[in-house]
Structure 1
Amino acid sequence: RAAAGTPTVRRLVQPATVVRGDLLGHAGGPPRRPRGGRGGMPAAVPPLPPDPSNPETWEAGEEAFSAAVT
């Protein structure tokens, strides 16, 4: 089947100052997802709190690109 829609790319709103995290201060690899009890569905992952050193928590800003796909 063909996909249709309008993908949109947005710029991130960068903080005024970026705090660089400790390069060796993490265990490495992606964070583990919490699992539900007894083989059920995974528990919902709570949203990350705003962190100036983590671009994944920055707000979405103005639209940079958008195109209709049919």
Structure 2
Amino acid sequence: MTNPPPLPLRLIGVTGVRPVTPRMVRVTFGGPDLGGLSLAGPDQRVKPFFPRRPGTEPVLPAPGPARTAT
């Protein structure tokens, strides 16, 4: 069994923050890495990784072996 191709990583930034309710905000992301992004269906996921300190890049987890369904 071969490992699947690595997932694409995109470095993006916050372009806007707007209050929606007193306890909820809408955060808008953007950046050049989003160019060419296409959505193939409603089941696609986004997993954001945030930096520990503002102004630094996030530390991404190291990929492990592919898991198989049991």
- TM bucket (normalised to shorter chain) is under 0.3
Larger Rg: 1
TM-score (norm 2): 0.27
Whose helix proportion is higher, 1 or 2? 1
Whose strand proportion is higher, 1 or 2? 2
TM-score (norm 1): 0.27
Instruction: Identify which of structures 1 and 2 has the higher relative contact order when contacts are C-alpha pairs closer than 8 Å and 6+ apart.
Output: 1
